[in-house]
Every structure is written in C-alpha cells, then in structure tokens.
Amino acid sequence: MNPLKSKPVLFFLGFTFFVTYAIEFGLILAGFRIKGIPQIFGQYIVAAVMWIPALGAFLTLKFISKEPMTVLRLRLGKVKPYIILWLEIPLLVALIYLISWQLGFVKFDLEMKDFMKLLRTYGMNTELPFPPVYMALILFFVSLFISPWMNSFFGLGEEIGWRGFLLPRLMSLGKTKAYLILGVIWGLWHLPLIIVGFNYPDTPLLGIAMMCIFTTAIGFIINDVVLKNESTLLAGWAHGLINSQGYGVWKLIMPQSNYIMGGIAGVVGIVVWTLYGLFVKSRQK
C-alpha cells in the first residue's frame, strides 16, 4: 500500500498543514510580514508553529495508529555526530556566504550598516558603546555557542513530525523517492511564510519552488544522519544549527542582493548543501 494513502499519514499531513496554514494565513490577514523586521508577536507565533508537526505526530500515534511514542526515536544517541555537525555546518554556511559574496549575490558589511539603517527606520536607537564590528563578533559567538540550543528546541518540533514520524513511513517507497517526497512536503509546509517574504522576499512565487529544492537538499543530509544514528534529537540539532547560522550573523554582515542565487537557500546554498549531502552519504557507508 502506498504510505501516502495510509490513514495515519493522511491524518498527520492533514492536521499539520491545516493547523499551520490556518494560523499563518490568519497572521498574514492581520498584517504580518517577514520582509524588514517582523512584528514581535507574530515571530512568537511562527516559532510556536514549528511544534505543530510534533503535535500532529503525537495525536496520530495516540488516536490513529495507536503506536508507542518510542517509534519517534527521541533518543540522544552518540555524542560524536552532534560535535561533527556543530563543526561542519558553520563552516558550510561561511563557505556559502563567501562564494555568494565572490559572485556578487551578497554584500560584505562588517559594520552592519544596512541592518542599522533598517533599525533606524523603525525608530530604534542604534548607538553602541563600541564599534559595530564588535557587535558582529559577539553575534558570531552567540550563533556558535548559544543560539543553536534555542533553535534546536524549535527545530525539534518540526523534526519529530518530519524525521521522527513521516520519514520511516515513506521509506517503503525507496530511499530516494522518500527523500524527494519529504523534501517537497517540508518545503510546501512553509508556503504561507514564503508568500510574505521568508527566504525569497522579492520573488515569492519562484521562492515556493526554490524552498522545496532547498528543503530537499538539506533533507538528504538530515535524513541520512538520522537513519544512521536512529535519533530524531540529532535531527533537531542539525535543524537548529542550520537556522542559527543561516538566519543569524551572516545575514547581517553579508546582506543579500539576490535571494534566488545567494545565501543558504539560494542556488549557491543548494549546490553546497547537495555536495555536502553526498559527502555525508559517503561517510555513512
């Protein structure tokens, strides 16, 4: 039987997409936008939405498939893969932005002039007791040692649904097909936010397709790591590392001028993630 037609998978996808879209389109109708500085309350809601896939998985296991929660593989596993990802993902993001800069898709702005200008347009005080470059260094430290933990908490909410619940059920289709389907599903789940500026603020319609390609590329990495180590917590860690690096200090010191081509979710990023995915696959053997 096609797993996409099974009652547990249909319930999980229906619940996850319906609740996510209802909340996010509700925010959009209320005026929420991502371009510029999103409203703080809206940011909290969007962060909470990241736990909807987990809620969908919990409800499906409890009331539909009646399976134990242990099938979600919420185990720590070995520490070594966490350390490897913590070392490699920041280097990859740095490489992505370096290549994007060399190709002219991002600007180098160590003093964060564009960001400071944006803050001033919102009436915020941008005076610092030290040069902005020091702030960039502080933010880089935070992105390495602090924000991965916070981002991993929210990333885990998604990963319990995608990698903990859905991926094992799609594997009967074959690894490649399962990875591709999950990548597209994961990308489409972000659709409401893409429409209002997430990742591709200048080209939202093309951005929907780009997001699906991006989530498929990084999904190949996370999927292989999770299946090898049998740990959904590791997926949350990888997700948190990507978010803390890709949406942190690098976007401030290297603001993008071409969102389709540059940055972690553009063509440059997708190529680098794909090559890294092939490297991870070879290492898993």
Pick from 90, 15, 25: which is nearest to 59 by CA?
A: 15
Mean pLDDT of the chain: 92
**What pairs with residue 106 in β-bridges?**
256
The yes-or-no verdict on residue 38 having pLDDT over 90 is no
pLDDT confidence bin for 41, thresholds 50/70/90: confident
The residue-averaged pLDDT of 227-243 equals 97
What pLDDT band is residue 127 in, cutting at 50, 70 and 90?
confident
pTM across the whole model: 0.94
Domain ranges of the chain: 3-284
The answer to whether residue 35 scores a pLDDT higher than 80 is no
Using one digit for the tens of pLDDT, what is the confidence trace for 140-169?
A: 999 999 999 999 999 999 999 999 999 999
Other C-beta atoms within 10 Å of 174: how many?
A: 10
pLDDT at 84 over 90: yes
Report the pLDDT value the prediction gives residue 139, as an integer from 0 to 100: 87
DSSP 59-123: HIIIIIS---GGGG------SHHHHHHHHHHHHHHHHHHHHHHHTTSB---TT-HHHHHHHHHTT
Q: What is the pLDDT of residue 168?
A: 97
Containing 239, the helix (H) or strand (E) segment is: helix 232-246
